[in-house]
Amino acid sequence: MKIAPSVLTADFANLENELASIKSADLLHLDIMDGHFVPNISFGSHVSKCIKKATKLPLDIHLMVTNPVEWIKDFSKANPEYITVHIESNDAHQALHLIKELGIKAGITLKPDTEIEAIKEYLYLVDLVLVMSVEPGFGGQAFMPSSLDKVRKLKELRKQMNFNFLIEIDGGVNGSNIDQVRDAGVDIAVIGSYIFNQENREKTIKDLKK
């Protein structure tokens, strides 16, 4: 299972050192918030390009925005591995096609209250499905165990339909539930505050991967 630290909980006044402290991770997760789809605002495309220059980790950009089509081209300039959009946003289908046209792997995500059925028609198109295990927009929330039922269902659908998308989970993942997450079939675990609250982050990432 891959580990993707969420930069949202890093110290942005010391960002270069923060990124160096997690260099053994597999991806770097960037949560982009517009203050509309979710109440908070994070950062824009210029910051994402600066982050790209400061790390060798592939970027995993999660757009928590109402109109993703308007945001994708700017964030594509950071050359991310993935750009993920919400099924609950406007024009999700158009957004996914645009991501693919730009040569970037496309992801679809859903809030905790949204059922898997809402994204079934998009599974043929995506490289990644992100299951939110907390309400999007705020760090430090408690993990919702019910999210693992979605993971298991996605794993089953992937096998039945012969698709190759990866399953990612985001929200409240830590050392006490990482085994459950892995056992359910998660391919990528996004972990924010749990990693950045540790003194030895390299050891923490190594332990999470075991």
Whole-number Å distance between alpha carbons of 34 and 97: 21
Residue 115 has pLDDT above 90, yes or no: yes
Torsion angle (degrees, nearest 10) of CA 138, 140, 144, 150: 60
Whether the Cβ atoms of residue 193 and residue 173 lie closer than 8 Å to each other: no
Which range among 2-6, 44-48, 59-63, 178-182 shows the weakest confidence by mean pLDDT? Answer: 44-48
- Binned at pLDDT 50, 70 and 90, residue 9 comes out as confident
The CATH number linked to 87 is 3.20.20.70
Q: Is the pLDDT assigned to residue 99 strictly greater than 80? A: yes
Cβ neighbours of residue 20 under 8 Å, at least 6 residues apart?
none
Listed in sequence order, the residues at least 6 apart from 146 whose beta carbon sits closer than 8 Å to its beta carbon are 112
Among 34, 60, 127, 170, the active-site one is 170
Q: Is 170 a catalytic residue?
A: yes
Tracing tokens 């970037």 back to the chain, one arrives at 104
Give the mean pLDDT of the chain: 95
Residue 118: pLDDT band by 50, 70, 90 thresholds?
A: very high
Quote the domain boundaries for residue 136. 2-209
Q: Find, among 132, 137, 130, 90, the residue nearest to 111 by Cα.
A: 132
Q: Which member of 11, 31, 74, 113 is catalytic?
A: 31
| pTM score above 0.85 | yes
Residue 138 has pLDDT above 80, yes or no: no
pLDDT confidence of residue 208: 96
Burial of residue 56 (number of CB atoms within 10 Å: 0-12, 13-18, 19+): exposed
Domains in the chain: how many in total?
A: 1
User: Would you place residue 79 in the very low, low, confident or very high pLDDT band (cuts 50, 70, 90)?
Assistant: very high
